[in-house]
Structure 1
């Protein structure tokens, strides 16, 4: 897990994006520290309103790069004038804010601390269902902190979910290093059983399942897809990080699954669900990744067309086997990341474009957005923004039918029906 320091400059929009970055990092088990000298990772959310601000941002980026192991630069200046940081010799990676949490985690499993308990953040209840995983990925430092899977009894997790609902949770986020192997230490994978038990609880709420590695899901893919199809309480959303389209690279990563198993998981959910969201991750620039391997990853992305994709450049983590491998040059990783990110935006943008004109029933208002707007999630956990929310009387926790009126690459806009 990483200790992070974040600095935000500029407008309310930037502050909102930083808040979302921190939420995702916290969900993944990372911890904020007071200053860059104590951090493993520094995040600079930039502004570029005037030339003086630009100079200040460049200077601060240089300082942060000297004080921490990894620097990620995002925000307006990063997106509009990212080359300035490169030209200034800043040792950092320029990213869209939505890509920052995945870059910090480096494709690793989220880290649940030993004393992790459910928490309520607004109307979102975060429920860690287990700690540890069954994987031994060659690039992942998380395994040193968590060990193998430890699954509390189903009854214990159901009781925690019930308490969150009674406390006002409208969305329960099931989290863990690898939710798909829940129960493996007890002799059988039981995620599908746990989800059914939670969905049977009284109340009006939704459940989102966190990251589940393809190998764990593959063995229960039919049972899991049946549960998703049966319960409206479950967002039809599966986050299964494939990490590469090359079986050779997956072997070097020690990912346990092969591409064919990932494809079988996708095919099973396609058969069971008419409308759902596939989320996956790719690590580009792994030390043994060839140009041909990279092309296989691009082809897998084109074939499966996931509606949410996290693209991460490989970064060595101390104490891991991959850290001893001879790495690829930064230029190669940058070019491959750029190519995959462009394809990702094309595919995800098309998915949101197809939503325009449709009506999505029972969307949940999850949180306030920028200005007088709210962020909603439809049945497949796709984000729909409603502007002028106060005019519609919408607050977090409300359910609303929305007509999708427009879209951006990563989200849509809607109006109450």
Structure 2
């Protein structure tokens, strides 16, 4: 069978989609461009309303293609599938499998069965009490020098705005031995950078399924694996960022100096209504500790603009926090009601036009900060892990693309041969682009 995977949302979805593709190839299926597929797998996100609507729009477009050939069918997985369930069958008859976030491990076998039984429909929507271990289905030689490694699933925080616990379930930590085994295998296949993934990695091991290994210990164990030259992790809840993890940034040379630490708002009043369980002052103390441990650390964050009850003063406090912390990057979104979460009932709702104006102001400030930070790097030398060929607009000279230790995208001029993919090279930064860097020379 020929299949194509389409992915929306977070890095965990990207990791799941990668695993699904490898597993189906292991069954003898062939991964092909969208127009050639007999089976479409759509891995979805419902954290905000906009990505959910994109999924429905995509399925609508697919329906026109699939109606021309009734043998073609679709599977929908991830958060939208968990949220909407088998109702998708009524709206999109060509959807023959819906699988939730705990049903990913069973999806390849289900798809194989559907290919054999053309009149069958299946759903995999039950939550499990423990993390379901699965064969990582790793190739003998890595296709990329970077890899995602899931260490947990679900979340126990139940922030007032967040649908994640409802669609990904309660927190379930993966066995530490399984995580380390996968990291060893990845290193052996040529992977040089791993990113440890979870809804809240800092609470790894604290649930009932934990095996006694907590996140600081897991981090150090992964760092000790030969061949793993860079480690990242995401996402972190500020209230659970332990001092031992902060200290690790100063102790572990292969722990990259970058951290995504979602703050959501610069107002204590808004943070209380969100149920975030920390204050702005407590957040800033974590930032101070991180910068003491690793002065060159690059920090990014998330902001929600227009949370119910957010005043102009609350929003100004968010702008002040952005200036104070000097975030190098951020993901900022308009608040939207999600089904079943506490904030749906909170009032007053901020009018859409005010939310949009505030978001534009916040993003303009962020863009200015990022541009200034990137420009300050001109003339410096970066260690870049090369991910593959790069490009420079208006030039045909050979180039490569990768990321520096802080995760910034770097394109640089370099020889076409030998293949630099997977190597860490020194690049002299000569120019800042809007969201990336340009450099030259490699050694």
Match of 2:13 in 1: 26
Q: How does 1:172-211 map to 2 (within 5 A)?
A: 172-185=194-207, 186=210, 190-211=214-235
Deviation at 1:365, TM superposition (A): 0.9
Alignment of 1:147 with 2:169, yes or no, is: yes
| Residue segments in structure 1 that go unaligned for 5+ positions in a row | 7-18, 44-62, 69-110
Kept in 1, the 8 Å contact 2:399–2:416? The answer is no
Q: How does 1:320-339 map to 2 (within 5 A)?
A: 320-326=341-347, 327-339=349-361
CA distance in structure 1 between the partners assigned to 2:212 and 2:406 by the alignment: 28
Alignment RMSD (CA, Å): 3.0
For residue 27 of structure 1, give the secondary structure of its aligned residue in structure 2: helix
Q: Write the deviation string for residues 205-233 of structure 1: whole angstroms up to 9, x where unpaired.
A: 3111111010110xx13x11222222222
Alignment of 1:407 with 2:432, yes or no, is: yes
For residue 420 of structure 2, give the secondary structure of its aligned residue in structure 1: coil
Kept in 1, the 8 Å contact 2:429–2:438? The answer is yes
Match of 1:347 in 2: 369
Q: Write the deviation string for residues 292-350 of structure 1: whole angstroms up to 9, x where unpaired.
A: 10000000000000112111111111121222334222111110000000000011111
For residue 352 of structure 1, give the secondary structure of its aligned residue in structure 2: helix
For residue 286 of structure 1, give the secondary structure of its aligned residue in structure 2: coil
* 1:211–1:121 distance in 2 versus 1, CA, 3 Å: farther
**The one of 249, 252, 270 aligned to 2:273:** 252
Kept in 2, the 8 Å contact 1:181–1:189? The answer is no
* 1:215–1:27 distance in 2 versus 1, CA, 3 Å: farther
For residue 184 of structure 1, give the secondary structure of its aligned residue in structure 2: coil
Match of 2:327 in 1: 306
Deviation at 1:113, TM superposition (A): 4.3
Q: Normalized against structure 2, the TM-score is what?
A: 0.68
Match of 1:47 in 2: none
Q: Normalized against structure 1, the TM-score is what?
A: 0.71
Greater relative CO (CA pairs within 8 A, separation 6+): 1
**The one of 360, 368, 371 aligned to 2:382:** 360
Aligned length: 330
**The one of 366, 389, 395 aligned to 2:420:** 395
Deviation at 1:376, TM superposition (A): 1.7
Kept in 1, the 8 Å contact 2:156–2:165? The answer is no
Q: Write the deviation string for residues 348-376 of structure 1: whole angstroms up to 9, x where unpaired.
A: 11111111101123x21134445754332
CA distance in structure 1 between the partners assigned to 2:236 and 2:154 by the alignment: 12
Deviation at 1:134, TM superposition (A): 2.8
Kept in 2, the 8 Å contact 1:249–1:293? The answer is yes
CA distance in structure 1 between the partners assigned to 2:255 and 2:327 by the alignment: 19
**The one of 243, 247, 250 aligned to 1:229:** 250
| Residue segments in structure 2 that go unaligned for 5+ positions in a row | 18-40, 45-50, 62-99, 106-132, 393-397
Match of 1:42 in 2: 54
For residue 153 of structure 2, give the secondary structure of its aligned residue in structure 1: coil
* 1:65–1:175 distance in 2 versus 1, CA, 3 Å: closer
Q: Write the deviation string for residues 365-398 of structure 1: whole angstroms up to 9, x where unpaired.
A: 13444575433222222221124x4536453211
Kept in 2, the 8 Å contact 1:125–1:173? The answer is yes
CA distance in structure 1 between the partners assigned to 2:10 and 2:412 by the alignment: 21
Q: Which has the larger radius of gyration?
A: 2
Match of 2:188 in 1: 166
Match of 1:274 in 2: 295
